[in-house]
Structure formats: structure tokens, C-alpha cells
Amino acid sequence: MTSPSETERRAPAPSVSVIVGAYSRRTYVASAVRSVLDQRLPRGSFEVLVLKNFEDPALDHWLDDEGVRRRF
């Protein structure tokens, strides 16, 4: 018996990717992300990626808790 390939074991890719860009604008990041997460789509059908040019440990912790990917 053969084991499933790596591709077969991965979760299906989301249908929609939402990218939230934040260049020195931490004020609206959380509300923008919350707006996306509050959509009526099933959570597994989309992903959220935040691109930002600043460090904010509290925001990063919240994004992690919400399952939002982030890049600095």
C-alpha cells in the first residue's frame, strides 16, 4: 500500500486571497481585517494576508489568534 502524496495530504487552497497592505498605517489594519473575517463566506474558502512595514507585537498576536498570515 502506498502512502498519500504530499499534495493529497494538504488542505485545499482557498478560493479567495485577500491582501491587506499597511504602510505606516497601523490605525486601520485591525478594522480592515475584521471586515474581511466578518464576511458570510465559510472561513476555509478564503485567506487573509497582511503586508506591513512596521512591528506591532499586540497586532501581530491578534493576527495570529485570528489565523491571519502576515509579512513584514
Strand partners, 17: 47
pLDDT tens digits for 13-35?
888 999 999 998 888 999 999 99
* pTM given for the model: 0.77
Q: Count of alpha carbons within 13 Å of 9, Cβ hemisphere only?
A: 4
The pLDDT value recorded for residue 3 is 60
The pLDDT value recorded for residue 13 is 83
Domain definitions of the chain by residue range: 14-71
